[in-house]
């Protein structure tokens, strides 16, 4: 007796169809064997499937040898998502379920009672199934909302193995999940702060507006308690909403990472990730024996906030250099190499010295000069060259703290940012570039350097000579100037636009 059921695996952020083949033969020594490069979780499915079938009121084939083959055999199979298709294949092969299932995929973990539990990565699996011509997907109820985001696929929430068997035997039909585009909140997003609630720091708000408008990386430097973290948490509130394509990208990443809450549909808010400074290399950029996305991929299309930047391990920070430049990260292992997207806006905060009060007018620094120099050197020159804006965040005077007048709300800032992004959308239409920060050298030449007014070109030349800017920093000054001009709805880049861009190149010392 033989049966074939389709399931799906996740490779990186993509799905891959897996054929679950079941062969049942008579044998004096009953056994069940799983082959096809399964990991421990898949091997353990033998016990879960046996108990689930028995506890669902169905019959386990006795006095038989059951062979389960997961094809293709050279693709690593991991996780409990194969429980449901293995159990269904056994039921079909033993004659307890009679149905045509060639156009369907089955995904889900089984409890010993036969209930179907959620698994991660259902969205890319469903996308692959639809792309490969499958028309039905049977998934856990908690994963049905994300699977229903895929057009052309009828999604059935499966509460239990018994319910699936009854549906396929046409005894009691399951209700399909309605197609949905309902927006869900970022499961780990911090509460967004409104600019109106932040007193003072108008020049920092302006710098963050420029950074948000062009997708630039920004570092804020100042003493403890000056509002750096509060300002960073306000950045998602001034970013434009995700487009439908970006929202699908983010939702797929969070699905693979297992961070979608039960019943979550499309994520419509830009991610805001704030890892602790004790994070490892793999935690930040991704990794593991089977590569998993790290924080920089979870921040894709959103904000990666690194608080106390100089407290991070320098080796961990250096891992950011390639993703900041290429907007992707490739993780190579012996079995496979996986490329994850990493197009994020880096927002970092740091103290100027270990005690935090270097240059503070109200409190004296207690750090020896050698200690200060060693502390600031934890951020390397090549990494600093990849930062577009450096902003000082001074202590807020008591007069401003006690003022009752609110500042400009984030909604108004977001309107200006969205208008600048629309200009960039028109400028880069048809190319892979989406923001000024992503411009290639040729695009910098055509859209920034060629648009300099004579006074702006002269100012840039003097800045390069006096600040000893590298070629990368030179291009980044031009990119920021282009963004400042876009915020002013100006095609040419004037001397005022260039002056504002140059002032953001201040170093840490």
At residue 233, what are phi and psi to the nearest 5 degrees? Answer: -70, -10
- Token digits for 8? 């799906």
Reading the block at residue 354, the tokens are 């270990």
Is residue 227 left, alpha or beta, with left meaning phi > 0 and alpha meaning psi from -120 to 50?
A: left
Computed over its alpha carbons, how large is the radius of gyration of the chain?
A: 28
- Work out whether strand 292-293 and strand 286-287 pair parallel, antiparallel, or are unpaired: antiparallel
pLDDT, position 404: 59
What confidence tens digit (pLDDT) does each residue in 329-349 have? 988 877 778 899 999 999 999
Q: Which of 3-17, 264-278, 475-489 has the lowest mean pLDDT?
A: 264-278
Alpha helices of 138-192 — where are they, by DSSP H?
Answer: 144-147, 161-168
Residue 2, beta-bridge partner list:
23
Rounded CA separation 323/386 (Å): 10
Is residue 24 within 8 Å of 83, Cβ to Cβ? no
Per-residue pLDDT tens for 421-440? 999 999 999 888 989 999 99
Domains and CATH numbers, the chain: 2-168 (3.30.230.10), 195-426 (3.40.50.300), 439-509 (1.10.8)
Both tokens assigned to 467? 């600040």
Name every residue whose Cβ is closer than 8 Å to that of residue 477 and which is 6 or more positions away in sequence.
460, 463, 469, 498, 501, 502, 505
Cβ burial, residue 166 (10 Å; 0-12/13-18/19+): middle
> What is the pLDDT at residue 181?
61
How do residues 105-147 score in pLDDT, each as one tens digit?
999 999 999 999 999 999 999 999 999 999 999 999 999 999 9
- pLDDT reported for residue 260: 86
Cα angle value 207/211/217 (rounded, 5°) = 110
Residue 503, CA atoms < 13 Å, CB-side half-sphere: 14
Q: What is residue 320's predicted lDDT score, i.e. its pLDDT?
A: 92
Split at pLDDT 50, 70, 90, the class of 507 is low
Q: Which residues contact 192 (CB under 8 A, 6 or more apart)?
A: 233, 234, 236, 237, 272, 410
Burial class (CB in 10 A: 0-12, 13-18, 19+), 5: buried
Structure-derived torsion over alpha carbons of residues 32, 103, 97, 43, reported in degrees to the nearest 10: 20
| Maximum Cα interatomic distance, the chain, rounded to a whole number of Å | 91
Minimal CA–CA distance to 395: which of 228, 227, 226?
226
Compute the half-sphere exposure of residue 155: CA atoms within 13 Å on the CB side of its CA.
Answer: 27
Residue 107, burial from CB neighbour count under 10 angstroms (0-12, 13-18, 19+): buried
DSSP 160: B
What pLDDT does residue 189 have?
A: 46
Distance in angstroms (rounded) separating the CA atoms of residues 390 and 504: 5
d(CA 140, CA 102): 19
* Among 121, 119, 60, 118, CA closest to 87: 60
Q: Summarize pLDDT for 262-303 with one digit per residue, the tens.
A: 878 888 889 999 999 999 998 999 887 778 899 999 999 999
Q: SS3 for 265?
A: coil
* Cβ-based neighbours of 80, under 8 Å, separated by 6 or more: 41, 42, 44, 45, 48, 109, 110, 117, 119
- Confidence at residue 269, expressed as pLDDT on a 0 to 100 scale: 86
> Integer distance in angstroms from the first to the last C-alpha of the chain?
75
* pLDDT tens-digit map of 339-380: 999 999 999 999 988 998 888 888 888 899 999 888 888 888
One DSSP character per residue, 210-264 reads HHHHHT--EEEE--TTSSHHHHHHHGGGGSPPPPHHHHHHHHHHHHHHT-PPTT-
Q: Determine contact, residues 215/240, Cβ cutoff 8 Å.
A: no
SS3 48: helix
How far is residue 433's CA from residue 439's CA, in Å, rounded to a whole number?
A: 6
What stretches of 243-389 show up as alpha helix (H) in DSSP? Answer: 244-257, 281-285, 295-298, 314-318, 321-326, 369-376, 381-384
| Digit-coded pLDDT (tens) for 210-262 | 999 999 999 999 998 888 999 999 999 999 989 888 999 999 999 999 888 88
Other beta carbons less than 10 A from residue 38's beta carbon: 19
Beta carbons within 8 Å of 497's beta carbon, 6+ residues apart: 456, 481, 484, 485, 488, 490
pLDDT grade for 157, boundaries at 50, 70 and 90:
very high
Check whether 319 has a pLDDT greater than 70. Answer: yes
Residues 146 and 118: beta-carbon distance below 8 Å: no
Percent of the chain with pLDDT over 90: 68
Note if the bond before 113 is cis, omega within 30 degrees: no
Contact at 8 Å (CB) between 501 and 473? no
């Amino acid at each position: 007796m033989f049966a074939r059921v389709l399931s799906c695996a996740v490779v990186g952020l993509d799905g891959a169809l897996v054929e679950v083949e079941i062969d049942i033969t008579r044998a004096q020594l009953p056994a069940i064997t799983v082959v096809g490069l399964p990991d421990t979780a898949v091997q353990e499915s033998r016990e879960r499937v046996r108990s689930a079938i028995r506890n669902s009121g169905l019959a386990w084939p006795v006095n038989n040898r059951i062979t389960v083959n997961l094809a293709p055999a050279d693709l690593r199979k991991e996780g409990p998502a194969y429980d449901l298709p293995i159990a269904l294949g056994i039921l079909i092969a033993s004659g307890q379920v009679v149905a045509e299932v060639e156009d369907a995929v089955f995904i889900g973990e089984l409890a010993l009672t036969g209930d179907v539990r959620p698994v991660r990565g259902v969205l890319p699996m469903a996308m692959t199934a639809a792309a490969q011509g499958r028309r039905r997907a049977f998934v856990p109820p908690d994963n049905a909302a994300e699977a229903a985001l895929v057009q052309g696929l009828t999604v059935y929430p499966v509460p239990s193995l018994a319910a699936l068997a009854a549906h396929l035997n046409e005894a009691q039909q399951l209700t399909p999940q309605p197609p949905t585009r309902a927006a869900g909140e970022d499961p780990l997003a911090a509460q967004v702060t409104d600019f109106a609630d932040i007193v003072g720091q108008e020049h920092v708000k302006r710098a963050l507006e420029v950074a948000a408008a062009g997708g630039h990386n920004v570092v804020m430097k100042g003493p403890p308690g000056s509002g750096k973290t509060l300002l960073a948490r306000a950045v998602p509130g001034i970013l434009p909403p995700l487009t439908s394509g970006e929202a699908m990208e983010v939702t797929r990443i969070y699905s693979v990472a297992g961070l979608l809450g039960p019943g979550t549909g499309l994520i419509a808010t830009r991610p805001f990730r704030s890892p602790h400074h004790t994070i490892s290399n793999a935690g930040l950029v991704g990794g593991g024996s089977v590569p998993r996305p790290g924080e920089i991929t979870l921040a894709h299309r959103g904000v990666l906030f690194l608080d106390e930047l100089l407290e991070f391990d320098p080796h961990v920070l250096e891992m950011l250099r390639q993703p900041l430049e290429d907007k992707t990260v490739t993780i190579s292992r012996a079995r496979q190499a996986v490329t994850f997207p990493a197009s994020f806006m880096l927002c970092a905060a740091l103290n100027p010295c270990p005690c935090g009060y270097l240059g503070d007018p109200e409190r004296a620094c207690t750090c020896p000069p050698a200690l200060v120099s060693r502390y600031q050197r934890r951020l390397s020159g090549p990494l600093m060259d990849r930062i577009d804006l450096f902003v000082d965040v001074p202590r807020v005077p008591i007069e401003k703290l006690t003022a009752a007048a609110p500042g400009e709300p984030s909604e108004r800032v977001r309107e200006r940012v969205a208008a600048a992004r629309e200009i960039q959308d028109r400028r880069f239409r048809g190319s892979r570039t989406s923001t000024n920060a992503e411009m290639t050298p040729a695009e910098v030449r055509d859209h920034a350097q060629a648009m300099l007014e004579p006074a702006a070109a002269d100012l840039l030349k003097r800045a390069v000579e006096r600040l000893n800017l590298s070629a990368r920093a030179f291009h980044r000054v031009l990119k920021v100037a282009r963004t400042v001009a876009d915020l002013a709805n100006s095609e040419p880049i004037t001397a005022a636009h260039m002056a504002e861009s140059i002032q953001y190149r201040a170093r840490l010392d």
